[in-house]
């Protein structure tokens, strides 16, 4: 269990009217999640499909047959027709109606296929849960980037305001001939660079808004307020690999079922037939009925296709196991890297916070020196840039901290809705 302090993520400007729970609820109702629900539904129907093999199969039939010579309407015992005047059950044209049924009494593979279907259903539900966590983490991460961009925009606005105030003072000095006009050009160029940066920020904001909209159907204008309770639970290990683990169990059951198809199977079967025709000896109409019921034992002796299917199923199991090992190695390395980066990011935020304080103090001194002509325009602008750069790095580290925790939450399959409010 990784327990850390509660983190409050404050927003620099206006807050969205939406909340994180509302975004999560919208995600569950959106097409992104509905598609996973359809996969689960298919898995449930696959289980029903296999269970249906255990039920009797009953069919009605109607047929009309023409024969080149009189044919019996039903099996007739020898010497059963003694009176030639009686319509004998033989006709060239016979109509038959009836019903047939078959029912498995013992077919081992059916029960294994039902177990496989349950495993597939469990894997589909686990995959749906992990996909939901990934999308929730994506929403939180993009919202954190949205906050970062807005904070960066706020820093640029503060720099722009400071430069505009400096420009007013500088304009007077230039008009009085106390300062070269080139100093004013440098200020104007710096203001133009701010506008370029703000325009790029707006482009990035559009992309973030689009991603969140594609997941939730909600188009944000401003970031959503977030409170992140960092209580990562790693006790279950790489829980995000559960869908693949269950899939391997299903693949193994598939091998078992294919082997069981080579076992003897026992079926009950029966039929009832009502036959009608015209007696060949006196052209009288007649009808007969008969039925049968029995048991069939089917013993496979040689089925080459079944042997090939068993070999293919074994390869699929091995392939899935290799895929699981590869995914495990990758996630273990990634999780270790992310966990080790958390204290570093935390330290970075502390250092950037102190750096911002120091750079703002230096900027105030630089403004005074520039005003008294003891500092060049280039040097003064460098102090302005340093403050904005430090603030940008702080907000970037804050966003990276949240994104790192969300990645770990997905890897460990933690409840993101409980972590983010």
Average confidence (pLDDT) per 10 residues, the chain, 421 residues: 41 65 92 87 87 87 84 67 68 86 89 92 94 95 93 89 86 80 87 94 95 93 86 90 95 93 91 86 82 89 88 94 96 95 94 94 90 84 90 92 94 92 83
Structural domains for the chain: 2-60+106-264+305-419 (1.20.1600.10)
pTM (two decimals): 0.81
**Which pLDDT belongs to residue 78?**
53
Q: What is the DSSP letter of 282?
A: T
**Which pLDDT belongs to residue 82?**
54
CA gyration radius, the chain: 39
Contacts with 304 (C-beta within 8 Å, 6 or more apart), sequence order: none
**Which pLDDT belongs to residue 64?**
85
**Which pLDDT belongs to residue 145?**
93
**Which pLDDT belongs to residue 211?**
94
**Which pLDDT belongs to residue 10?**
44
**Which pLDDT belongs to residue 4?**
41
**Which pLDDT belongs to residue 349?**
94
Bridge pairing between strands 57-72 and 285-298: unpaired
Helix (H, G, I), strand (E, B) or coil at 65: strand
**Which pLDDT belongs to residue 83?**
62
């Amino acid at each position: 269990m990784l327990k850390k302090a509660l983190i409050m993520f404050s927003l620099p400007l206006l807050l969205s009217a939406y909340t994180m729970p509302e975004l999560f609820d919208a995600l569950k109702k959106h097409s992104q999640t509905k598609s996973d629900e359809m996969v689960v539904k298919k898995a449930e129907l696959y289980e029903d499909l296999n269970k249906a093999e255990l039920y009797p199969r009953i069919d009605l039939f109607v047929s009309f047959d023409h024969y080149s010579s009189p044919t019996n309407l039903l099996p007739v015992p020898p010497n059963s027709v003694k009176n030639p005047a009686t319509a004998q059950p033989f006709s060239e044209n016979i109509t038959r109606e009836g019903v047939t049924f078959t029912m498995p009494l013992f077919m081992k593979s059916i029960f294994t296929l039902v177990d496989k279907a349950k495993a597939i259903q469990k894997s589909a539900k686990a995959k749906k849960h992990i996909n939901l966590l990934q999308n929730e983490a994506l929403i939180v991460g993009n919202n954190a980037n949205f906050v970062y961009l807005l904070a960066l925009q706020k820093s640029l606005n503060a720099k722009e305001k400071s430069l505009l105030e400096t420009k007013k003072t500088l304009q007077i000095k230039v008009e009085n001939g106390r300062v070269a006009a080139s100093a004013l050009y440098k200020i104007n160029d710096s203001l133009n660079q701010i506008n370029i940066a703000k325009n790029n920020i707006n482009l990035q904001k559009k992309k973030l808004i689009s991603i969140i909209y594609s997941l939730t159907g909600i188009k944000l204008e401003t970031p959503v307020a977030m409170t992140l309770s960092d209580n990562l639970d790693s006790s279950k290990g790489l829980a995000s690999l559960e869908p693949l683990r269950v899939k391997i169990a299903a693949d193994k059951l598939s091998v078992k079922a294919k082997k069981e198809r080579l076992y003897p199977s026992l079926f009950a079967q029966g039929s009832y037939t009502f036959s009608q025709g015209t007696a060949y000896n006196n052209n009288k109409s007649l009808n007969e009925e008969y039925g049968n019921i029995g048991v069939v034992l089917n013993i496979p002796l040689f089925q080459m296709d079944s042997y090939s299917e068993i070999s293919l199923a074994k390869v699929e199991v091995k392939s899935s196991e290799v895929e699981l090992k590869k995914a495990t190695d990758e996630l273990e390395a990634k999780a270790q890297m992310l966990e080790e980066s958390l204290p570093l990011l935390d330290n970075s935020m502390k250092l950037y916070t102190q750096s911002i304080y120091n750079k703002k103090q230096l900027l105030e001194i630089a403004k005074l020196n520039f005003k008294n002509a003891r500092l060049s325009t280039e040097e003064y602008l460098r102090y302005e840039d340093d403050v904005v750069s430090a603030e940008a790095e702080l907000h970037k580290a804050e966003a990276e901290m949240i994104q790192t925790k969300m990645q770990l939450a997905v890897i460990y399959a933690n409840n993101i809705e409980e972590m983010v409010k």
